[in-house]
Amino acid sequence: MNESAKLDFTGERFTPECVREIAYEHWHRYAWAATLLSGKRVLDAACGEGYGSHLLSRHADRVTGIDLSAEAIEHARARYASERLEFRQGDVTSLDLADDSMDVVVSFETLEHLEAQDEMLGEFRRVLRPAGCLLISSPDKKTYSDDTGYQNPYHAKELYRDQFEALLGRHFPAFRLFGQKLMFVSALWEIDRGGAATFHTEDNGRVEHAGQPSAPPLYFLALAAANHAALPEIAPVSMYTDREESVYQHYNEEVAKHIRAGHLIAERDAEIERLKALLERSG
């Protein structure tokens, strides 16, 4: 991978130089998808900068990344050259791929950017082999936009849950729906029990998958009894938060304070420069 090549972040598409919340959201989706790709032929539809295709190619037999942006494809080819990875410029609503040519289609952060959503899913169904599967994301219009009052200028058509399910059902009658949200939670997991869950950890662009978190526990808890037959069943992984998401709210409030302080400092500096200019003119 060519680390010197970087694509400027404009807000339209994610770049791996982004940090914290947005990085967690984007990397997690690809890390989740990567666990299903061993020996598979994969399409990363609307691959953008190429970081996700690159991650998937470490697990899949072959990955094809397609994006409408010529700039993004040129960048991806320069940064992520690999024998198991190719990038093509193309339109996800009219794919230049043969029928039944892919085992898996991955399409994250794509659907909401298009009006022609049925056309895109129709193309995904066409290029997927009969036993293939689609992994796709979509922001929930209610929580992403309605509840926050935020309007993403790059989103053409956001969907509510029932609309998303209806769209999927028209092209992929069998589907399982998952939710994703960045949360500050207390995580509790059974130590040394493999297969109970998968924890994804990103480190300098590489994602590791393990049955345990990368960080060690701060506390130990035990479920004990006189014999194994007396031990009750309990979920091997548990997460806890409060309804108000108080830790996350506090974090957002602190971030907002820093942003406001930055604005005040910028305004002060501008005023100082203005007064300096007045003094120079009057002197």
Q: What is the DSSP string of 27-54?
A: HHHHHHHHTT-TT-EEEEET-TTSHHHH
Backbone phi, psi, residue 247, to 5°? -65, -45
Backbone phi, psi, residue 266, to 5°? -60, -40
Give the pLDDT score at 125: 95
Q: How far apart are the first and last CA of the chain?
A: 57
Domains of the chain (ranges, CATH numbers): 21-171 (3.40.50.150), 186-240 (no CATH)
Length of the chain: 283
CA–CA separation, 244 and 208 (whole Å): 32
pTM across the whole model? 0.77
Closest CA to 238 of 206, 263, 215, 213: 213
In the numeric block, the tokens 């299903």 are attached to: 36
Give the pLDDT score at 108: 93
Give the pLDDT score at 277: 87
Encode the chain (283 residues) as per-residue pLDDT tens digits: 655 456 555 555 555 655 556 677 878 889 999 999 999 999 999 999 999 999 999 999 999 999 999 999 999 999 998 999 999 999 999 999 999 999 999 999 899 999 999 999 999 999 999 999 999 999 899 988 998 888 888 899 999 999 999 999 999 999 999 998 887 889 899 988 877 888 888 787 788 888 888 888 878 888 888 889 988 898 899 988 888 888 888 888 888 898 889 889 999 999 999 889 888 888 6
Give the pLDDT score at 212: 85
CA–CA separation, 267 and 219 (whole Å): 46
